[in-house]
Every structure is written in C-alpha cells, then in structure tokens.
Copies of this chain bind each other. A is one copy, B any other.
Amino acid sequence: MIQMAVLGFGTVGGGVVELIDRNQEVIRKTVPQGIHVKYILDLRDFPDSPYNDRVTHDYQDILDDEEITVICETMGGKEPAYTFTKKALERGISVCTSNKELVAAHGPELLQVAKANNCSYLFEASVGGGIPLIRPINACLTQEDITEVFGILNGTTNYILTRMEKNGLSFEEALKEAQQKGYAERNPEADVEGHDACRKIAILSSLISGKTVRYEDIPCEGISRITTADFGYARAMKMAIKLLGVSRKSQDGSLSVRTAPFLVREDHPLHSVQGVFNGVFVHGNMVDDLMFYGRGAGKFPTASAVVSDVMECAKNIGRNISFNWSDEIMTLSDKAEDSYRYFVRVDDSEAAVAAYTFKAANKVSFEGAPDGETAFVTANMTEKEFAEIAKSFKTIKQCIRLLQD
C-alpha cells in the first residue's frame, strides 16, 4: 500500500481523498498495492466527514511517519505550503500540487530539492485543471522545439465571457452569477484581472524555455472592461472574445508573453471552448499545432490531475521525475515590439481620422451597436506604433487584440 497525506482539506483536497476512495479499483490496475490516504492536514476538524479520523493538525505527524511516500499539497498560497513542501522533499517524500502560486514563485527551487533527494515535485493540476498538459509537455514533447503555447487558462473568466456572449449578460451580471455558482471567488480580482491566467502562462513559458519566466514580468490585462457591445461587434466579425495567456518564441530565442483578452476567429478551435472549459494550444517545430482541452477547474477534475501525479510518483518511488526548468531568469522580449491587429471603438467625431491613421480595413457594425461611435480593425502594427497613434485620439473606448494565425 502506498501511504500518502493530503495537506488542506478544502475543495481540491477533499476531491483527492474522495477520488482515491471511489476509484481505488481502477487505481489498482496500475498501482497493484493500492493507494491510501493516511493523514489529512488541516487546521479545522471535520466531525461530519467520514475521513475525520485521519485529520491531524500537526504536520510533524506526517513527516515523522516513515510510511508516507507521497504528499498532496492542496492548500494554496505561498506559506506554509512552501515550507511544508520543502521539508517533505528534503525527506525524500514526493509532493504533488495544485498550487500554481507556489509553482510559479518557487518551482525551479523545489524541483531542485526533489532531484537532490530522489523524489519528485509534480504540478499537473497547477495549469489547466484536469487536462493532462504539464506531463505531456514534459514527457511526450521533449523531441519538439516548442515555439508557442497559448490558450484559455482560466475557467472563471471563460465562464463569464461565455455568458456575456451567449446570453447577453453584462460583465457584472455574469460575474455575480459565477460567484453564485461557486466558479468565482468573493474577491474575484485574481481571476478577472488575469493574474491567475498570468501565473499559468508563466509556468508554461518556463517549461518551454527551460528558464524561469516571472509572472511579474508579464504584461497582464483582465476582462473587466469588456462590454456586451464588444460581443455584438465580435459576433459581426464571426469572432469570440477570450482571455488568453500567450507565449511565443522569436527567431532569436527570446520569449514574448502576454495575458489579455483576444478576439478569436470562428474557425479556430479555441473559439468553441466555452464555459469553465480550458483549451491550450501548443506549437512544436515538427508536430505543428496541438490542442489540449478539458475542465479548467472544479473539485474532481482538479483532484484527478493531482492524483494523476500521485500515480506517477507511486510508479517511481526512489526515482526523480525531472523537469527542464532552471532558476535562471528568462528575459522577455520588449513588449512594445509585439505586433497585432487591433479592434478599436472610437467616437464618430474622431472616426474618419482614426480609421485613416490606424490604416483600418473594413468598419465593423451590428444591429444595436451603440450610437455615435465607429468600430474597425487596424492594420498590423507594433504595440509601440499603436500606442503612438492612439495618443492623438481622445475618444478611444475599446481596443482588443486579434489572435494571429
């Protein structure tokens, strides 16, 4: 029997414990000795839970039990998760985590500690919820020069955008609904301002570059300024508005990374990624385009990814599963040099000059479009050029980048 512990008995931690119980028979097809959760670490007690007898409040109980070979860290946040993870790894106990904040902040260091102690630090659940993504990148695509990773990395905002698009809800209405359904937190900032997606694209960018991409270095915009009118225009252009994390290698090997809302064409597979689903595109120099799609959040999908890592650890006791991710800081390319086409809305008073200066192609309109404004898509230009031109107009209400092919 593989004996393990779960740190944090919240939604994901609870999902891990339940999944291991419910799918024990399936699990034994791969790990014949079975997997058992011996400890649950939490500050609280759970008198109504059938698992309450496994709850401990003292991490030392777990560290001192030599039977424990794997720990699931589903606490979230940097501390005490960081200290707990490091202590476990130093004892040769593998750690599987859903904690993207910790992975983005201390990933390479913890990977190093794991390696030095012949155990593993795995983080499949930190990006893309239940989607097998991190390990496929790390184990199935090492023959590829991955030149691009981009996608819908946050289920909460994708749910909000989908409700705005399909049902005409305002941002505020859709956010409120997402909160009522438990998809968004009471303080939704990390999701709607793009910070969560930003951490995830930082992790993916680190994996494809082999260095550390700091999320603080990534330009980050959220979705709170997207309106229902924007969806009217988007529909007229046969596009959808999606919050994307985008990471692209240039010819010189530098990385351009960004989190922002993008307009996505109807025939692009990300267009039909709806609700709380995530979709992640990966482009390799040989395999071309790949997409990984699935539930980006939720109790059991996320727990599934955590347990997937536990299975991998159980098959590799005493062996380190290595990642190509060093602590060398990756310098990102100058964001002002990124080039895009931009969807722009401007007051009619400035429309003619703006359309001319931005080298706009067709104007965009739809029945019910707000009065007194004009919308168009600019020519391809750098962020710097766009900002230069935009300065000379006072009434630009909106600009959204188009996802290039």
Contact = CB atoms under 8 A, between A and B. Distances in A.
A177 interface: no
A271 interface: yes
Nearest to A284: B304
A176 interface: no
A5 interface: no
Contact of A288 (B23, B31, B300): B300
Contact of A293 (B132, B141, B291, B304): B291
| Secondary structure class of chain A's binding surface, majority of residues | mixed
B290 A30 contact: no
Contacts of A140: 124, 132, 135-136, 308, 312
A144 interface: yes
B294 A288 contact: yes
A303 interface: yes
Given A286-B301, A290-B130, A139 B135 contact: yes
A402 to B, nearest CB: 18
Given A269-B272, A286-B301, A29 B142 contact: yes
Contacts of A286: 19, 22-23, 130, 300-301, 303-304
A310 B144 CA distance: 13
A311 interface: yes
Interface string A125-146: 0000011100110011111110
Given A269-B272, A287-B295, A291-B291, 13 more contacts: A19-B286, A22-B285, A27-B142, A30-B324, A130-B286, A132-B136, A132-B141, A143-B307, A143-B308, A287-B301, A289-B294, A290-B293, A291-B294
A271 B266 CA distance: 11
A23 B285 contact: yes
Contacts of A359: none
14 contacts: A23-B143, A23-B285, A27-B143, A29-B210, A29-B324, A30-B142, A31-B142, A132-B136, A143-B308, A269-B293, A272-B272, A277-B289, A291-B293, A293-B293
Nearest to A289: B294
B288 A301 contact: yes
A286 B291 CA distance: 21
A273 interface: yes
A274 interface: yes
A123 to B, nearest CB: 13
